[in-house]
Structure 1
């Protein structure tokens, strides 16, 4: 049987609230026209060449950027750093003979792990003169409600704790630093930036790229170069590194341009081949949220009633037991919450070991639990239910009691720590037979 959890199958399972509007009262008609995300870069802005480091290829790849106010801006609203920083990198690359051969990286993704935020906490400040600060807060609340990302206000009392932070400030159009850049980095907003556009800009800060510039985009959309204003073509160049596309093409992504973006004549610059709607700036799509979740997974432990911890033997690639009395690398599992928000009762989850293997219910349930597969599918997907804990809230926090069931709409099988712990783990208990040995305590070490 087919065991890969398809994108279409996943889509019907995620909480409908992901698709609810985030934008309140402001007019979002511009999301299907020339968006302020492109306003930062004037048509006459000079285009220059720089380099970005690509981890998968272990080389520098060339990138095109516009020079605006001393900043290197890619695709209209992604600030790669200052022009001086880019020039210094170009000199270094050429001096050391590190120029890459092969495809360009005109559309780019944040492949450098040093440019990713080390935790899902992003400190920020807001200048007092920034317009519509309620929209910024609404955008932050949207991220908080649909992902485990937390934007934390940086103050004098915690500044030493957060040397790297985002400064939200006034500027032309709507743009933001791309990924983590170290020290102070910026987001620039004017009064035209809607809540949805600000959500989009926060995504760039986290390292998300524009959906329409994926390596495989020509299968899904048609780019109408002839309808673009001068200089707009630089915003539509493809990313040639397909390894960084986490899921299939997402027409509904908040990172996708609208059909009239950069139009010079009122005709579309981008069309979906199947007539799908594109360019919404209402809310993170399901797969926007999942992509960010994959970037920032959480460390997760499960403890059996006996006090023994669930362990992926050998760090993955073998059996899963519940027989350890202390937490080490093999007991720390990376939790991927497929529902994209805070971990809630009923969420679909996957658990990845330190070696990269996924925890699996063998044969989909009814027998043992192992950690062999390197690619997750239905057998590696579980639904987690809160059974008790310090609070009555549906959110699953440390010390809550949970049960873990297999991914099955009909008759899921629930994990059991054999003997209550100290031995193996099976996925064979029916819901009507749940007992103490099926209960696990959550930890976030």
Structure 2
């Protein structure tokens, strides 16, 4: 019995360590990688994926569970295994993106790269990537949180009409990919904001559940009302009234959920999470 169990573990290890395959038709996800034979044009993704459970409005919690059965709620911030190795994030564009769309996305990548040790690496033919971020353009702005080897296809979905107009919106989703969840979900949030449960749409209360301090760390970063990761004050409101109110009366409610630009505290959190030498 023991030899069979060891053989099973070995097989699981082999499967989980296999790289992303090119020209791989996946019936569930419907995505495949195509690399032109000319050796000049970049590889691209084609087909369409099916998102799994969407939580907190834009977090893709489940795409595919590969033999591990792990709880997707486990927060990447405190689990080192949920960080991208050496801060390198390999990605590939869906073929539907225009050059202008790509320029906006890469401008956001550059902001992160200049202020952290994170590096975004475009997939090239023959790369032995074990996990890859597919940048797609279906409806909505959505992303998976953190790295997970068993989830070979990570997602960063940015529709041009609703997601590429402001760099803060793009960076918000990119920071999810790197491992950040929403600012209002911090375990210490009750010291800074009040959740107005009576104003939340039925069925959306779960979007306001705070994280456990056993799974989520703030890295000693002060609560950031201006965070690009914060919800707007009226998120998921059923009556137009605020669902999140600052406890500090001097805080302008309109700054909650700003997507104009990423803040220094947002970037500093990434630096501490990935142990970057840069500090802002």
| TM-score using structure 1 length | 0.45
Please say if residues 94 and 135 of structure 2, whose CA atoms lie closer than 8 Å, have aligned partners that are also in contact: yes
Please say if residues 176 and 201 of structure 1, whose CA atoms lie closer than 8 Å, have aligned partners that are also in contact: yes
Match of 1:209 in 2: 181
Provide closer, same or farther for how the CA distance between residues 165 and 70 of structure 1 changes in structure 2, counting only shifts above 3 A.
Answer: closer
- The within-5 A match list for 1:114-125 is 114-125=81-92
| Matching residue within 237, 259, 267 for 2:241 | 267
Shift of 1:141: 1.9
* In 2, Cα distance between equivalents of 1:293 and 1:69: 32
Please say if residues 72 and 80 of structure 1, whose CA atoms lie closer than 8 Å, have aligned partners that are also in contact: yes
* In 1, Cα distance between equivalents of 2:75 and 2:70: 16
Match of 1:401 in 2: none
Where 1:81 maps in the other structure, the secondary structure is coil
Matched, 1:296 2:274: yes
Please say if residues 77 and 273 of structure 2, whose CA atoms lie closer than 8 Å, have aligned partners that are also in contact: no
Provide closer, same or farther for how the CA distance between residues 203 and 86 of structure 1 changes in structure 2, counting only shifts above 3 A.
Answer: farther
Please say if residues 72 and 86 of structure 1, whose CA atoms lie closer than 8 Å, have aligned partners that are also in contact: no
Matched, 1:281 2:259: yes
| Matching residue within 117, 131, 141 for 2:110 | 141
Match of 2:217 in 1: 244
Greater Cα radius of gyration, structure 1 or 2: 1
| Matching residue within 178, 196, 204 for 1:224 | 196
Match of 2:138 in 1: 171
Shift of 1:70: 5.6
1:237-276 per-residue CA deviation (whole Å, 9 max, x = no partner) reads 0112166111221112111111111122221111111242
Shift of 1:206: 0.5
Match of 1:155 in 2: 124
Alignment RMSD, CA only?
A: 2.6
Count of aligned pairs? 219
Greater RCO, CA 8 A, separation 6+? 2
Shift of 1:109: 4.6
Q: Which one is further off, 184-193 or 131-140?
A: 131-140
1:154-208 per-residue CA deviation (whole Å, 9 max, x = no partner) reads 1115x22x33221101222111111112322111222211431110011011101
Q: Which one is further off, 130-139 or 288-297?
A: 130-139
Q: When you count helix as a share of all residues, which structure comes out higher? A: 2
* In 2, Cα distance between equivalents of 1:265 and 1:87: 41
Match of 1:406 in 2: none
Please say if residues 76 and 82 of structure 2, whose CA atoms lie closer than 8 Å, have aligned partners that are also in contact: no
* In 2, Cα distance between equivalents of 1:262 and 1:86: 34
- The within-5 A match list for 1:300-339 is 336-339=277-280
Listed as ranges, the gaps of 5+ residues in structure 2 are 1-48
* In 1, Cα distance between equivalents of 2:76 and 2:148: 14
- The within-5 A match list for 1:415-434 is none
Shift of 1:75: 1.9
Where 1:133 maps in the other structure, the secondary structure is helix
1:111-167 per-residue CA deviation (whole Å, 9 max, x = no partner) reads 32222111121111111213733331221122123222111111115x22x332211
Where 2:86 maps in the other structure, the secondary structure is coil
| Matching residue within 193, 196, 208 for 2:163 | 193
Match of 1:76 in 2: 57
